[in-house]
Amino acid sequence: ASAQDMQGRRVLVTLGPTREQWDGVRYWTNPSSGTMGAAVAVALWLRGAEVQAVCGPGTPWLPMGIARHDVTGARQMFDVANALWDAMDAGVFTAAVADFSPVPLGPEKFKKAGAQDGFSVAFTPNPDILATLGNRKRDGQTVVGFAAETSGLAESMARKLVAKNADMIVGNLVGGTDAGFGSATNRVTVLAKGGEPEEWPVLPKPDVAWRIVDWLARR
């Protein structure tokens, strides 16, 4: 691929985990490191794209040439991505967004003295950023989603492609050591709309990202 084959394309990337605050000192999150999304953002930027990165907590450094929007919770990530979306040509949704948030207790620390026998926390659903933006994409907008599962990956990818109106889903099985959360490498299967699932070898995340951008650049 030529060096600047994404020149002039505006691309939204969501990355990292989200953090859902419960009380004054505790929150709900997941082990996403933002590594895969950072690799995508950097690959896009190196190839000339104008990148808007919406970053959950703990996302690694990014080059200054990438517009970075730091967010905390899923609803905030949704609001920022939603506001940017209409001006974008493509979106790559790598973030591990919390599907549910605990009903917040407020700014005070919950005291264990009142809960010797344990206690329950209620959760409410968060907006699905990819599904919302995918389902209102206009002509010319391209959407790439991710799927991380512990089993049933092929079916889940096929389902998400349709439900989220994505053009491609990149799937990986989590739980192994060579792929998924926090790993330096990834072993993915990609499924493009109208195509057959394609298995890529174990690759460093920057190389997985480079191939995803190859696919975007060809569109």
The C-alpha angle with vertex 49 and arms to 52 and 218, in degrees rounded to 5, equals 125
- Which position among 30, 82, 126, 135 bears the catalytic label? 30
* Residue span binding ligand C5P (CB under 6 A) among the ranges 46-54, 60-68, 100-108, 126-134: 126-134
79 binds ligand C5P (CB under 6 A): no
Q: What are the Cα distances from residue 210, in Å, to 23, 74, 94, 133, 157?
A: 40, 27, 14, 23, 21
Interface with ligand C5P (CB under 6 A), residue from 45, 85, 93, 210: 93
Give the span between the Cα atoms of 157 and 57, in whole angstroms.
26
CB closer to ligand C5P, 25 vs 103: 103
Q: Taking CB under 6 A as the criterion, which residues in 7-36 touch ligand C5P?
A: 14
| Other Cβ atoms closer than 10 A to 35 | 23
85 binds ligand C5P (CB under 6 A): no
**Count of residues engaged in binding ligand C5P, rule: CB under 6 A:** 15
Q: Taking CB under 6 A as the criterion, which residues in 94-113 touch ligand C5P?
A: 94-95, 97, 99
| Known catalytic residue at 30 | yes
91 binds ligand C5P (CB under 6 A): no
Contact 73, 80 (CB under 8 A): no
Give the active site residues.
30
Which residues are at the interface with ligand C5P (CB under 6 A)? Answer: 14, 74, 93-95, 97, 99, 126, 128-130, 145-147, 160
